[in-house]
Structure 1
C-alpha cells in the first residue's frame, strides 16, 4: 500500500519538484468515498472503488487549479491546510461520516478468514502498485513528462517557450491523486474501520515524501525501495518507542537526514551513469527544448 502511494506521489513530486505533504487528504477521501458508497448506497465494492477514486480525481482537479498557483513553501502549506480542512469536515459531518467515532465498512469477502483476506488485498495492492509504476514509466518517456521535467528545472523559462505549465501541473496533481485515492479505497475495504484522525494524518503524507526521497525520486523503483525501508522502520520505532510522539519524532529525524545527506536517493546513486528505468539525465536546456517541441 505504501509503495503504491509513494509511487503515486512521485508522479507529482518527482517530475515537477512540487512537494505535497497533503496527499493523505486524497487517501482519506478515497477511503471515505468508497466506504460511504458501500454502506449508505449499497453500491458493490468493485463499483464503489473506481467511482470514489474518479470523484476524488475531479475534486483534485479543482484543488490543483488553485494550489499550483503558488510554489515552494507556499505550496507545502496549502497541501497541509487541505488535509486539516478535510479532517475537520469529516469529523464535523457526523450524520454522514460518523464523525470522530469513525465509519465501519463491511468486508467484501465475508466468506474468507482473516489470513485469506489479507492475501487477497496484498495482491490487489500489488496490482495497484503495478499500475502506478507503469504510469510513471510511461509519463517519463512522454512529451507530458518532458514538460513536467521542464517545470522542475525552470518553470518560468518553460512557460516562455510555450509549455502549458498550469495544465501540466494540474494534470500531474490529479493523476497522482487518482492512485492515492484508489489506495485509500482499498484500505477502507481491507481494514474495515476508518478513523478520521488517521485517514487525514500529515504523517501519511510525510511517509510518501520520505519513501520517495530515500529511494530516489528520479527512478521508477525509488519509492518502492523507500517503502520497503521506511515502512518496517516505522513499525520498529512504534514498537521500540511506544505509541507516543517519540516515534513520530524519530520519523521526522529520518526525513531530515535523508534530505541533508541523500537528497537524490539510494537508487540515483547506485544507477548513476548506468541507465535504467529512470528520469533521463539531461541538461536543463535539453528538457526545455524537448518540452517545447
Structure 2
C-alpha cells in the first residue's frame, strides 16, 4: 500500500508531463489543458469545502474576476501578462478577504445562497460597466505568444495549468498537516465546540476562503490570456462553480487527489456531451443530474469507496474529539 501510494502519483505525474506529446492531435491537448484547469480549480475549492464543509457555489466569481482583472490590465494599461496575472490574483484575494468576513458569518444553505448572490452581482457589474469591461460583448485579450500557432499555445498553457495544479496540491497537502488544517477540520466537525475550545473559527474560515480564491483567480487569469475572448455570462457562470463542487464530491473531498480524480472524469465527459449534443442545454442537465446522483449515493466520493484506509495523501483519519483537541492546542 505504501509503495502504491507513492508510485501511482509519480506515474500519473510522469504521464501528465508527457501527455501533450503522446496524444495524436491538438484538440486533445486543448481538452487536456481544460481538464487540468478544472482540476486546479476543484483542488482550490477543496481548500475551503473539503476542510470546513462550507459549500460555495460562488467561486466562479473569483474565476471571472481573475480573468477580467488580468485582461483589463493587459488591454487597458499594457501591463505584461505575467505581472497582470499576479497583480490581479492579489487584488482578488484581498477582495475575497472582505467578502469572506461577511460570508462566513452564515452557515449551511444561507452560505450557499450568499455565494450564488456574489456570482450574480459580479456578472451584473461587469455587464453593466460597458466603458471598462465591454459589457455583454466581452473583452478581447491579445495572445501572450503571438509567434505560436493555436495548437502550440495549448501546449504552453497545459503546462502552466499543470504548474498551478501542483501548487494547489502542495498547498492542500501542507494545510492538511498543519495546526491550521486541524482547526479547519474542527470547524467541519463541530464549529460551536471548536470555538468554545479557543479555535479562532472566524479567522480560519476567512483565511481558507481567501486562499481558495487565490488559486481560482490565478486559473481565471490564465484562462483569459489563453482563450483571448472573455464572455461575462460564461466566466461568471454558476456552472463553473458547480463543476468544482461536482469534481470534488465525486473524487472525494477528504482526499488530496479526490478533486483531481473527479476532474479527470467530469471534464472529459463534459467535452464529450458538448460535442455529441451540441450547443444545447442538455449537457447542462446531464451535469446537474450527475451532481444529484453523487450527493445522494456517493457523498464521500470514489476514493472513499475504493478503500477504507488511506490510499493516498488524505485528511488523517481521527475522531472529531481528537480534531477539536488538536486544533485547540
Shift, 1:212, TM fit: 0.2
Give 3-state SS (helix, strand or coil) of 1:22's partner: coil
Describe the superposition over 1:118-167 as per-residue Cα deviations: whole angstroms up to 9, x where unpaired.
Answer: 10000000000000000000000000000000000000000000000000
Q: Which residue of 2 aligns with 1:33?
A: 69
The answer to whether structure 1 residue 273 and structure 2 residue 299 are counterparts is no
- Inter-partner Cα distance in structure 2 for 1:271 and 1:114: 42
Aligned equivalent of 1:130, options 163, 166, 173: 166
C-alpha RMSD of matched pairs (Å): 0.8
The answer to whether structure 1 residue 163 and structure 2 residue 199 are counterparts is yes
- 8 A contact 2:103–2:114 mirrored in 1: yes
Describe the superposition over 1:18-71 as per-residue Cα deviations: whole angstroms up to 9, x where unpaired.
Answer: 000110000000000000000001100110001100000000000000000000
1:189-208 alignment, distance < 5 Å: 189-208=225-244
Q: Which residue of 2 aligns with 1:65?
A: 101
The answer to whether structure 1 residue 181 and structure 2 residue 217 are counterparts is yes
Shift, 1:267, TM fit: 1.1
Aligned equivalent of 1:140, options 176, 180, 186: 176
- Inter-partner Cα distance in structure 2 for 1:116 and 1:275: 36
Gaps of 5+ in 2: 1-36
Shift, 1:238, TM fit: 1.9
Describe the superposition over 1:73-118 as per-residue Cα deviations: whole angstroms up to 9, x where unpaired.
Answer: 0000000000000000000000000000000000001111111111
Question: Which has the larger displacement, 155-164 or 260-269?
Answer: 260-269
Give 3-state SS (helix, strand or coil) of 2:313's partner: coil
Consecutive aligned runs of 4 or more in structure 1 exceeding 4 Å deviation: none
- Inter-partner Cα distance in structure 1 for 2:181 and 2:99: 21
- Inter-partner Cα distance in structure 2 for 1:276 and 1:119: 29
1:87-126 alignment, distance < 5 Å: 87-126=123-162
TM-score, normalised relative to structure 1: 0.99
- Matched residue count: 293
Shift, 1:275, TM fit: 5.3
Q: Which residue of 2 aligns with 1:75?
A: 111
Q: Which residue of 1 aligns with 2:271?
A: 235
Give 3-state SS (helix, strand or coil) of 2:106's partner: coil
1:1-16 alignment, distance < 5 Å: 1-16=37-52
Gaps of 5+ in 1: none
- 8 A contact 2:141–2:225 mirrored in 1: yes
1:220-231 alignment, distance < 5 Å: 220-231=256-267
- Inter-partner Cα distance in structure 2 for 1:247 and 1:275: 32
Aligned equivalent of 2:253, options 209, 217, 220: 217
- Inter-partner Cα distance in structure 2 for 1:191 and 1:276: 34
Shift, 1:271, TM fit: 3.4
Q: Which residue of 2 aligns with 1:288?
A: 324
